[in-house]
Amino acid sequence: MQKKIVFLITSVVHFVPSPLSYSKTRSRFTPEERMNQTIQSMKSIRSKFPNAYIVLIELGTREARSKPFKSMADRYIYLGGKKIVRQAVDSPHKGLGEAIGLWLAHRYIQSLRADYFFKLSGRYRLNGQFHKEAWLKDGFSASKEKGWMSTKLYGFSKGYYTKWRMGLKKSMPELKRGIAIEKVLPRKLGRIRRMNNLGVSGTIAPWNKKVSE
């Protein structure tokens, strides 16, 4: 029986120009460029998992109305109009916005009955080094080194959904103080199956720097 795979993509197309804690420039890309990059994210998922269920969680200052952008996802969720989301996403602490967005999306995704969940940051894409047979294991899978975990892409089996969600909640006080989500979240999740190669590529928005992990 084929497993039901769900991808959760966090996206911020329209953003405030205020600085991040680690960069005066929040993004060197226009909203249109950010939208097109996230479309490529979804296309890369379809190339690896044609039957995956894609949930696009948009947290921008206003709703992204492009039909191709919205229609490529199986479920499009706009949460950017919520006060708590704006306070978090527009703050200097990027990880706080991501955690709150994923936490609030629970009401829309809890009924999906997935066997496995991936979380992928919008504007990043699965590349030729992504091998799905290396994933889909029981527990959490992520790239982790010296206490830091990449949050561009990670995955977990259905039995760990609640633990993941509670990990996000427990991380929030530290995220509000400016501690990076890459450092906080792995401490809340507990044991993580280490991935030596994620198979994900993209561009870091503040510096227009291309990365592959």
Look up the CATH number of the domain holding residue 178: 3.90.550
How many domains, the chain?
1
Residues 3-57 have pLDDT tens digits of 899 999 999 999 998 988 888 888 999 999 999 999 999 999 999 999 999 999 9
Domain hosting residue 168, numbered range: 5-212
pTM of the model: 0.95
Tens digit of pLDDT per residue, the chain (213 long)? 678 999 999 999 999 989 888 888 889 999 999 999 999 999 999 999 999 999 999 999 999 878 889 999 999 999 999 999 999 999 999 999 999 999 999 999 999 999 999 999 999 999 999 999 999 999 999 999 988 999 999 999 999 999 999 999 999 999 999 999 999 999 999 999 999 999 999 999 888 889 999
133-160 exposure pattern, b = at least 16 Cβ within 10 A, e = fewer: ebbeeeebbbbbeeeebbbbbbbbbbeb
CA 31 to chain centre: 18
